[in-house]
Amino acid sequence: MKKIVVQLAYLVVPFLVIWLALNQIDFVRIFKIQEASSKLEKALGKFYMNIITAENTEITEEELTDILHEIKKRICTSNGINSQKINIHLVKSGEVNAFALPDGHLVVNSELILYCENPEELAGVMAHEIAHIEKKHILSKLGKEIGFSTLSAMLSSGLGNMESLKILTSTAYDRNMEEQADKIGVEYLQKSRIDPKPLAVFMYRLSADESDILKQLTIISTHPGSENRAQKIRNWANDPIIEYDPVATDEDWSTLQDRIRELK
């Protein structure tokens, strides 16, 4: 009998401890915080996009955005990502850059398309930024650098311009976030049957041009240590088993770049 009581105690006591611990958690408060965070993210995304589109022309012609949307669809479909959460914006800008904003906004500058030597390089950059979005790096970074109370006050006051956007988001993600986005981006590409090695080539070329190009990368994610990152990307991408499919034909890519040049 004593043995049965002891065994029962072993079963009941842990259950009671867990039950008491759960009762101490304010789930209502947690859910309210999550809801508030979601609202803040949506508001910030809209706020930043309003600033960007007020200062730059957003390109909406389908023949110029088709490849971007095809890359997004391919990456999202192959990796179980809700593509409707990723909002692609092609913006006319002379800066070689692409960057993620809160609430799933992914902005691609037109100059980046001209800088990329092939659509696989562009897909690599986009996969990297989609990884930032999926891992919630953007809001985490802003919260760490600015503070959510300051961000909320900024939105409530309605104050802000392009300079405030640059001040808020000019520094790079920390190295852990950048490396995580690089690694996950390579995985996204591999699952999408998009060759990730051109992303390494892109980063090597970026490293060679850093003195000129990186001075221009003033929004969200700059890319320090490009050569070191390129080597890691090359190592992660070294999988001879995977057969990759082209993102677009050479003719379609050349036509897109020609059309972008005409906009300049």
Q: Give the integer Cα–Cα distance in Å for 11 and 5.
A: 10
Percent of the chain with pLDDT over 90: 45
At 260 the pLDDT is: 96
CB 242: neighbour CB atoms within 10 A?
Answer: 13
At 154 the pLDDT is: 61
Place of tokens 């092609």: 90
At 263 the pLDDT is: 87
- Listed in sequence order, the residues at least 6 apart from 180 whose beta carbon sits closer than 8 Å to its beta carbon are 131, 135, 137
What letters, b where the CB count within 10 A reaches 16 and e where it falls short, cover 199-221?
A: bbbbbbbbbeebeebbeebebbb
Q: Give the integer Cα–Cα distance in Å for 78 and 120.
A: 16
- The DSSP annotation for 46-58 comes to HHHHHHHHHHSPE
CA-based Rg of the chain, rounded to a whole angstrom?
Answer: 23
Q: Give the integer Cα–Cα distance in Å for 205 and 112.
A: 13
At 74 the pLDDT is: 98
> Token pair of 169, please?
């988001």
The most distant pair of C-alpha atoms in the chain lies apart, rounded to whole Å, by 89
DSSP assignment letter at 61: -
Low-confidence residues in the chain, pLDDT < 50? 2-23, 25-35, 161, 163-164, 167-171, 214-224
Phi first, then psi, for residue 100 (nearest 5°) are: -100, 145
The 10s digit of each residue's pLDDT in 184-204 is: 999 999 999 999 999 999 998
Q: Give the integer Cα–Cα distance in Å for 243 and 255.
A: 26
Which residue, among 39, 50, 205, has the nearest Cα to 121 in the 3D structure?
205
> Token pair of 244, please?
């990759």
At 78 the pLDDT is: 97
Which residue, among 101, 74, 125, has the nearest Cα to 229 in the 3D structure?
125
Residue 223's SS3 state is coil
The 10s digit of each residue's pLDDT in 80-99 is: 999 999 999 999 999 898 98
Domain ranges for the chain, please list them: 2-263
Round the average pLDDT of the chain to a whole number and report it: 78
